[in-house]
Structure 1
Amino acid sequence: MAWRSQLSKNLKELRFLFCQTSPASAQTREFVRKNYKDLKTLNPKLPILIRECSGTQPQLWARYDMGVERCVRLDGLPEAEINKKLGELVKAGEPMKA
């Protein structure tokens, strides 16, 4: 997972949105709990935002250069799949670097 250290090179901001109590958000909450510290340690200047709101479907948003944003839905995805989706968002930012 060498891409984890590339977050700050390819992204301008990372946002996790999820509900504090819904079963659909349980895996996303667990992913954030387990991985936030590692992601922040490897990318100390990258804003990693956690947004909790009742009734919100779990989502991961990545903001790139020039305000371009991409979203992936995380409804009920296991940790390995969330990791894969995050890796895909990071790799999608490579061609956007100028």
Structure 2
Amino acid sequence: MKALLVLALGSVCVTAMASEAPTDVAQQQPPIEEYTYSMNLDIAKVISMSEAPNVCEVVPMKMEYEDSNGQRHILRYSAMGNGCSNG
């Protein structure tokens, strides 16, 4: 009977810890900043960049980077897609 109680309490604790994990990750994710031409960017290391789709129009892009203090940032900006030709 005691073993069954320990098993039941253990599964409740594991479930509670599993449900807390995504919130911890969400809190670590930096907010998305919208790029403006007046911004002074401090980019020490680019972590990831979205790829431009094969369309001939302006599309939203994202870049995740670290500044010179080691803080992560996510920057949203607009760029032209790769689907245009000069022909």
TM over 0.5: no
Between 1 and 2, higher relative CO (CA 8 Å, sep ≥ 6) is seen in 1
TM-score w.r.t. structure 1 length?
Answer: 0.23
Q: Which has the higher strand share?
A: 2
Q: Which has the higher helix share?
A: 1
